[in-house]
Amino acid sequence: MNTTQTTPHPNFWRIALLFGAIHFLVMTYGAFVIEQADCQFVVPAYFMALPALLSILTLRRFGAGTVVFLPYAILGFYPVYYQDYLMAHTMLNVWGAVAWCLGGLLTGLAGDLAYRYLPSRLPERWRAILTGVVIGLGIYLTPLIAMTFFYIPHPPESHYYMFTTRIAYSLSWLLVNGGFAGYTAYAIQKRSGI
């Protein structure tokens, strides 16, 4: 059942953190450009999931997906805290910023667990797609949890409102984008021969 390596990859941290830097750039673009017009978690979900999936499929080590979210968890803490707690006053307390940052790590962990425990008899393409779907689910659930417990009551134009009243759209969009990102990561990994 375990299809991940047991010996350390010599460049594990370097490669995983490179994919983490790409993820951080996607999240930064989402926060400062896309967020001005739409929800950053719905629009670029494909690009949020792709670096984690590439890391998982390239390194084939447990933790490769979690490490991708580490730069955002560390470097993203202060901007989330500053923007939502200090400036916009929409966050109830500092724990909301902690929840946002831990949410990414939990999403990466869910991807690692999915890839590790999906049956090895399943074709690699489907393992990648299903791992992507799990990451898409994480991208849906972790912000929803943070918005539910750490933010002030939500007006109809908020992300929370969209995540809870338009669940058929927001959840399916994130699952499909995660699946497409999984297939793309599989195709890139297969084509590169890594």
- Is 1 inside a domain boundary? no
Q: Which two tokens stand for residue 47?
A: 């690009």
Q: Which residues contact 126 (CB under 8 A, 6 or more apart)?
A: none
Residue 105 lies in a domain: yes
User: Is 2 a domain residue?
Assistant: no
User: Alpha helices, DSSP H only, in the chain?
Assistant: 12-32, 45-59, 64-68, 70-75, 77-80, 95-117, 124-150, 159-165, 167-192
**32 found inside a domain:** yes
Q: Which long-range CB contacts under 8 A does 20-24 form with residues at least 24 apart? A: 20/51, 20/55, 20/67, 20/68, 20/69, 20/70, 20/71, 20/72, 21/71, 22/51, 23/48, 23/51, 23/52, 23/68, 23/69, 23/71, 23/72, 24/71, 24/72, 24/75, 24/76
Is the residue at 135 inside a domain? yes
The answer to whether 163 and 144 have CB atoms below 8 angstroms apart is yes
**Model confidence at 98: pLDDT above 90:** yes
Q: Summarize pLDDT for 124-147 with one digit per residue, the tens.
A: 999 999 999 999 999 999 988 988
50 inside domain:
yes
pLDDT of residue 164: 82
Total domains present in the chain: 1
What number of CA atoms fall less than 13 Å from residue 153's CA on the CB side? 0
Q: pLDDT digit string (tens) for 70-81? A: 999 999 899 889
3 lies in a domain?
Answer: no
pLDDT digits (tens, 9 = 90+) for 146-194: 888 998 876 666 777 777 888 888 899 899 999 999 999 999 999 987 6
Number of Cβ within a 10 Å radius of residue 33: 12
Confidence band for 58, pLDDT divided at 50, 70 and 90: very high
Nearest to 106 by CA among 132, 135, 83: 135
Can you give the residue range of the structural domain that contains 185?
A: 12-192
Q: What does the pLDDT read at residue 194? A: 64
